[in-house]
Amino acid sequence: MSFSVLSGAAARDTGAETPQQEAVEVPLHMLVSIKDQNIKVYRGLDLIETSPISSGKRGHSTPTGVFSILEKRRRHFSNLYNNAPMPYMQRLTWSGVALHQGRLPGYPASHGCIRLPRSFAKSLFSMTDRGMQVVVTRESAEPVLVRHGALPQPYAPQTKVASLSQRTINSDAALRGAIQPAAVEASLSAKLPENPHFDQPLRMIITPQKAPGRAQVLQKLLNQMGFNAGPVDGVIGRKTRAAIRLYQEGAELPVTGNVTDALEARIHADAGYEKPQNAMLRVRRKFRDVYAAPVTIKNIEQEIGTHVFTALDFEQGATSVNWIAVSAEGARGGSSEELLDRIEMPEKVSGELAKLLTPGTSLTITDRNYKRNTGLGTDFVVITR
């Protein structure tokens, strides 16, 4: 069964003879609910398949979080549990969690894997690719359409304008006869660079980044200004206090050697210091890092939760795309749209992402640790429980 759809541009009949547009397949993604013991398969917002499952039993609970399919095998045998057969295996972690055909007694009974009925496991295996995202939640979750300025959009080149000056027209007899004697401007669309990876969805993640300590910043700035505050170790010791006294003397301030809010602000201003952004954006393609840049999360002290945003289908050359959102931890951190209100992305970073963006790209924003389960041969794996 095909679930391809034509994009809006291809579906409209303008009556003009134009090359036929290729069918664009809406991204496929899966949501697993441990509480409901089911799996739902979506193409964008459309639910196309659902099935019962059997997840991990007590003591072998299936982890919840954000995963990608790392490996697929029609015939596979467990190397952890007595060579047990795992037909239509789709691996989610290298530590032993996978989707596969298995017995469904009507309750959690596996050793951590997600068991599927045979017919569904076979059908699902035929629809998926390595790298496809799977979100496992405790409670049931559903994708919702979201539009927000913080979400990346495809590259939109500036229009270049070519003009014919009056002098150029007057100097050419042929032009004088064909063009009115006035400045003529012809809009020429800037050439859009082809993206050779357009068929490969990106996996992006934004996580909070630990800010440098107040004392370390002060030591670093004093050293930069030539006051020799010693090692940047965050310890306000003898050498750092001597550097502070020298600075205070030169700035005609009371010479105390003590750190105050006013002194800190003065040193920051004199050194031209700007507070660093408090979060990091990382991008992977085919399980490998391709880009990273600092961004900002407002009210960083508040909970974030785990939210997954997925770009829907668009054609190469499009200038906009819709996104869907899934809250992987329910209400923790607020709604997905409320979280996007807290994201500030530098214009340069937005521009770079626009050039990289592809259909099916996902962006996970979370305050959970992703490093423990993320490595070579994985996407960004976020465990929420």
Q: Are 253 and 268 in contact (CB under 8 A)?
A: no
The pLDDT of residue 173: 54
In angstroms, what CA-CA distances link 200 with 31, 58, 194, 196?
21, 38, 14, 9
Q: How far is CA 87 from CA 79, 108, 362, in A?
A: 14, 19, 28
* pLDDT tens by residue, the chain, 385 residues: 332 333 333 333 333 333 333 445 678 899 999 999 999 999 999 999 999 999 999 999 999 999 999 999 998 877 666 567 889 999 999 888 999 999 999 999 999 999 999 999 999 999 999 999 999 999 999 999 999 999 999 987 754 444 444 444 455 555 445 445 444 444 444 555 678 999 999 999 999 998 888 999 999 999 999 999 999 999 999 999 999 999 999 999 999 999 999 999 999 999 999 888 899 999 999 999 999 999 999 999 999 999 999 999 999 889 899 999 999 999 999 999 999 999 999 999 999 999 999 999 999 999 999 988 898 888 999 999 8
Q: What is the pLDDT of residue 184?
A: 41
pLDDT of residue 6: 30
| Residue 366 β-bridge partners | 306
Q: Which two tokens stand for residue 209?
A: 């980044």
pLDDT of residue 185: 43
User: In what side-by-side order are the strands of the sheet with 288-297?
Assistant: 144-146, 323-327, 306-311, 362-366, 202-208, 279-285, 288-297, 343-344
List domains and CATH numbers for the chain.
23-138 (2.40.440.10), 145-156+195-210+278-383 (2.40.440), 159-189 (no CATH), 214-271 (no CATH)
Contact between 184 and 178 (Cβ < 8 Å): no
Residue 177 three-state SS = helix
pLDDT in the model for residue 172? 54
Contacts of 18 (CB under 8 A, 6+ apart): none
What SS3 state is found at 270? helix
286, 332 contact by CB (below 8 A):
no
pTM: 0.77
Asked whether the beta carbons of 373 and 383 are under 8 A apart, the reply is yes
**Number of other residues whose CB lies within 10 A of the CB of residue 91:** 23
